[in-house]
Structure 1
């Protein structure tokens, strides 16, 4: 099979690293995991993997490039993954190899210890992985992948604890960064979130069994009842006796990733007790209050800009219309496009509804501006269709800093907002106006009525503010310069 290549027209968006899912206490658990991973496919499209355990056959695994639907719906493959306990992972690389993903980097990772085997799937990024890797290699560890997540397996191997759950705790106390982890032993399903709860993880009930998922939409697809979120710094161990919850780390204020609300999570998921769709719609309301403009039509840049555009239109009283139509059959990957096809740009994904756009003053609502290249192309398409004016409204603050906690972000020098003022970005993109929602407005949309508390922000917003709640040790060692204290 050819390597799974990044979509050449998706490179102007931020990408989530991965999604994790696990089930215990149901027959043919791997089939449920495959469904869960399908619902989480938006979090990673490069590759996926499933590990299952059966008392008679032991641990079995399958790792494949590409979409879940193209691999884990085949009976011949799923029959090799029997058992009532399974975990899975969908991947978009941030740490490890890029582009042509190596199969050895595809999770879950597996380790065989003296007390039995353990498989681990990790969502997030370890900010001290390079230092840990050097230390572990010097002490004799032999790494099989380029992923930061493999450090956890090697740290477990060096622990002197007598059971796997305690070894996981030992290992995670050594790592820094963001992690939501789903793990399994022969009899237990385990879920852990880092002390700040940067990445999501939820618990569901399905019949007599249990499920762990990156998002509630994963529970919905298998008919599981959403029970609660795994709390920041919490570890749950689930077996046939029930759920045991512990707190392996010292208490710290939660700093959940606010970009999960803006873009990463599916709009039908629930985060922090709030509907993602409703938060995004409310961002549009805040945008309309903060940055009104005389216009004839509010159009989303599909699909991620749609809820905010609906909110903007409702608040402003300007009609909402689908001025841009997305090709639903393109998907988010494209295998080896020719140079001629590359030159077609975003027209492969998006087409303008000319009859609606012609002669109108158009407000385009998008979720973010990263490099700005796609915004320029979309603006050109709208003007070519006969629009009188083009105004961009962005449902997040300017993205001026890279993320080191599980999001694939360009280096700071390639982020448009790191190099230009808002007015300069407007002129570079070539639109009549460009406005971003304020950081306070984003917080209000996410349920913080008073906006952002500068002394104790509830969310991780480092990509906007440059204030990193977890020191990116490895990146600083490589020369990354933190924001100067004000």
Structure 2
């Protein structure tokens, strides 16, 4: 079950063409680096002499795969996926990559994002006889590609035509018997980059995955671009490039991306440091120590401390064997979930006025428990700061923002939130400051979950 004060992560994709390497094992390491983007399920599909085989299951990467399984997944191309369910139920059938067998052969598909026209697309496909085996929009993309392939000269042409049918966020990997294809939606909501290692060509959701396998970053895939790899040669299709404004999800910088990743030219760690800086300017306070809530709140806490001049220290020890989501079998366990994941360093907070910086406040229940823990360990004051603005609106592009009736900012005033979580003061980064935290990014951004302004019309 998802931690009740956290936004559900995205998914992560990784793919490689390597004529000489162990593609499945390399993909395993790439997915391991992307584990923060989804912990519900994972999978790897490989292409061995045009025969696509795959293995996937519920669980973390190192739990699902072992040496025996990876050895059997032999091939010169591979695609992998880690999943958090923003569309479709949490079950093995929805794990990716999806492998589809149709009249033109086999394809494997891995997808990060969410389609806003998935209901219309499902209706159109059902009328033509499609029978869905999963509850994901990824299967709708796969069926659309298969349908378009019947009247196309190549699979990449089918992908190009498929994009005309898709509205929303999708960073996509398609593996056919002969080709590895990476495609990104025309708005560029979700990240996707390309790297090289010798003769190997790699695609990944984040640069940290390239680093983990020793690949050199080449460039980001452009919004609307389709990149095709066949026998080591790279070609691109740019029909959809520049058709829409480039609007990367701002929450990639605030929360989703690993701190060591570079997204569209901007360091995620530096963005969070800047968020902390502007948060300190907007909500200063007299205090003795600044601490961050692991993991995404740490960089912002450092930025707050540096700007305010208040010393930064480690306030929490995190159980590193528990991911961002974990099983909570009972209500009693849910109540203890903070203690299971985090413990307070008493020497840091005892007898001190504490500034606690977190990456976001969603429902407020976990913030309340953390504040209570800090007071239990001797903090005399607790000033809560969020490096993200208040969540006021749903997200339609793959971020699991709860409905308005569960969002604390939609149901309480700032004073009400302060009283609810038991803080001495509270402050959220302003929406106006968001544009200042990505000074090096070569894109605009979507802040719809904070502002209600979406780059795509949604029903």
For this structure pair, what is the TM-score category when the shorter chain's length is used for normalisation? over 0.9
Change over 3 Å in CA distance of 1:459–1:332 after alignment to 2: closer
Matched, 1:295 2:264: no
Aligned-pair CA distance for 1:185: 1.1
- Structure-2 separation of matches of 1:162 and 1:112: 18
C-alpha contact (below 8 Å) 2:328/2:334 kept by paired residues: no
Aligned mates of 1:155, 1:67 — CA distance in 2: 30
Structure 2 equivalent of residue 353 of structure 1: 345
Shift of 1:337: 3.3
Which residue does 1:362 correspond to in 2? 354
Write the distance in 1 (CA, Å) between the matches of 2:38 and 2:220.
21
The TM-score with structure 2 as length reference comes to 0.95
Q: 2:86 aligns with which of 81, 89, 94?
A: 94
Does 2:132 align with 1:137? Answer: no
Alignment of 1:13-32 (within 5 A): 13-26=6-19, 27-32=21-26
Alignment match, 2:214: 223
- Structure 1 residues 366-375 or 113-122, which shifts more? 113-122
| Equivalence map 1:206-355=2 (5 Å) | 206-249=197-240, 251-335=243-327, 337-355=329-347
RMSD over aligned CA atoms reads 1.7
Alpha carbons of 1:262 and 1:402: their partners in 2 closer, same or farther (altered >3 Å)? same
How far 1:248 sits from its partner (Å)?
3.0
CA offset digits 1:179-222 (Å, max 9, x no partner)? 00011111211111101100000000011010000000110111
After superposition, the C-alpha distances for 1:393-416 in whole angstroms (9 at most, x for unaligned) are 110111111111111121122111
**Equivalent residue number for residue 171 of structure 1:** 162
Q: Give the drift of 1:351.
A: 1.3
Q: Which of 34, 37, 40 is residue 34 of structure 2 equivalent to?
A: 40
Structure 2 residue runs without a partner (length 5+) = none
Under a length normalisation based on structure 1, what TM-score does the superposition of the two structures give?
0.90
In the alignment, the residues of structure 1 paired with residue 136 and residue 14 of structure 2 have an alpha-carbon distance, to the nearest angstrom, of 19
* Counterparts in 2 of 1:375 and 1:343: CA distance versus 1, 3 Å: closer
Give 3-state SS (helix, strand or coil) of 1:174's partner: coil
Count residues in correspondence: 454
**1:261-287 Cα shifts (integer Å, max 9, x gaps):** 000000010011111111111111111
Asked whether the equivalents of residues 36 and 323 of structure 2 are also in contact (C-alpha less than 8 Å), the reply is no
Separation (CA, whole Å) in 2 of partners of 1:128 and 1:320: 46
| Residue of structure 2 equivalent to 1:62 | 55
Give runs of aligned pairs for residues 410-425 of structure 1, distance below 5 A. 410-425=402-417
Following the alignment from structure 1 to structure 2, what is the Cα–Cα distance between the partners of residues 19 and 68? 12
In structure 1, the residue matched to 2:153 is 162
Cα distance in structure 1, aligned partners of 2:157 and 2:35:
31
Q: Say yes or no: does 1:463 pair with 2:449.
A: yes
Confirm or deny: 8 A CA contact 2:199 2:232 kept in the other structure: no
8 Å contact kept, 1:50–1:89:
yes
